[in-house]
Amino acid sequence: MNIEIMELEESRCRFLLKDASHSDANALRRALISDIPKMAIDQVEFHLGPIMADGKEYESITPLFDEIVAHRLGQVPIPTDMELMTFREDCVCEGEGCPNCIVMYSLNKIGPCTVYSGDLIPLGNDAFKVEDTLIPIVDLGDGQAILIYAIAEMGTGRRHVKWQATTGVGYKYQPIVEIDESLCDQGMQCVNGCPRKVFDEVDGKPFPARLEDCTLCNTCAEECDQQAITVRSDQRSFVFGLETDGSMTCAKALEVALASLEAGFEEFSEMVSELQA
């Protein structure tokens, strides 16, 4: 199994998985979705009763139910440093909650205004400040206010989708487009006909310059009067695409998913060895 990076940005990447079976590709897809630990808000405590600010009394109420506000806060991407944080259940504090396993946030706003994810203030460590600051949480009306304390902890996508660091994880077979030059009449039907604009005209001949954009639709082969083009897929190579929600970089997500896959295979191999013994 080999990986060749095609595009790598902070929260978006595309790579080629080579010398792999379909099962390998699917195992990596599942690891990327379910096995990457990340931080997410899991507990929210709402202040009840009046809130005093600027000599005025505000009602601690919002147009949304508290459950919905808590649910929206749960989905805000929280910066995750796996070297710094540990799972709450595996922590030395035995799940009580300590700086190794939880991050506390406060949110204090008075209306009229829109409350955004950027209004979450980490208590203690500024490294956990939310980077995606413009996710709207709730609109407060005149005389309304919100005061909450929230606790974020580590989890994985297996437990709940709010702990899923990656989005839009998908793959397809690497296309193989072959042009028989002895048949090609340089009519450029393939260049003009391809809906994904995969072909370029190079020195008067069609050339599949952007193979990774090919969807194997076969339009180029159908458009070619000379039947000079064959399109097939490489059953051992996969074009992968994925994004992260901003809680970590794509490179980190890929690294962690591969490590978790390796650990899973090792554990499985040990279990099989024990059965044989």
Stretch that binds Zn ion, among 9-17, 27-35, 75-83, 92-100 (CB under 5 A): 92-100
Residue 7, classed as helix, strand or coil, is: strand
Q: Does residue 127 bind Zn ion (CB under 5 A)?
A: no
Specify the stretch interacting with Zn ion by CB under 5 A; choose among 65-73, 97-105, 244-252, 266-274.
97-105
43 is a contact residue toward Zn ion (CB under 5 A): no
Q: Which is nearer to Zn ion, 98 or 259 (CB)?
A: 98
Rounded CA gap, 255 and 125, in Å? 25
Closer Cβ to Zn ion, 34 or 100, answer by number: 100
Comparing CA positions, the residue from 104, 134, 101, 100 lying closest to residue 119 is 134
Q: Which residues contact 182 (CB under 8 A, 6 or more apart)?
A: none
Closest distance of CB 50 from Zn ion, Å: 34
> Do the strands 229-244 and 166-179 form a parallel or antiparallel pair, or are they unpaired?
antiparallel
Binding region for Zn ion (CB under 5 A) out of 91-99, 118-126, 154-162, 191-199: 91-99
Site residue total, Zn ion (CB under 5 A)? 5
Among 78, 101, 107, 110, binds Zn ion (CB under 5 A): 101
What are the strands, taking DSSP E only, across the chain? 2-8, 12-18, 38-46, 51-53, 56-58, 102-110, 113-116, 121-122, 136-140, 145-155, 166-179, 199-202, 205-208, 229-244
Min dist. Cβ of residue 98 to Zn ion (A): 3
Cα 48 from Cα 50, distance rounded (Å): 7
* Closer residue to Zn ion, CB minimum distance, 93 or 259: 93
Handedness of CA 220, 223, 228, 230 (dihedral sign): positive
* Residue number with CB closer to Zn ion (87 or 207): 87
Residue 150 CB, shortest distance to Zn ion, in Å, is 17
Verify binding: residue 93, Zn ion, rule CB under 5 A: yes
Among 40, 85, 91, 228, binds Zn ion (CB under 5 A): 91
Among residues 104 and 221, whose Cβ is nearest to Zn ion? 104
Which string of DSSP letters, residue by residue, matches 83-135?
TT---GGGSTTTTS--TTTEEEEEEEEESSEEEEGGG-EESS-GGG--S-TT-
User: Nearest-CA neighbor of 239 among 7, 11, 24, 17?
Assistant: 17
The residue from 34, 60, 75, 100 that contacts Zn ion (CB under 5 A) is 100
Nearer to Zn ion by C-beta: 90 or 178? 90
Closest separation in Å from C-beta 73 to Zn ion: 21
Binding interface with Zn ion (CB under 5 A) = 91, 93, 98, 100-101
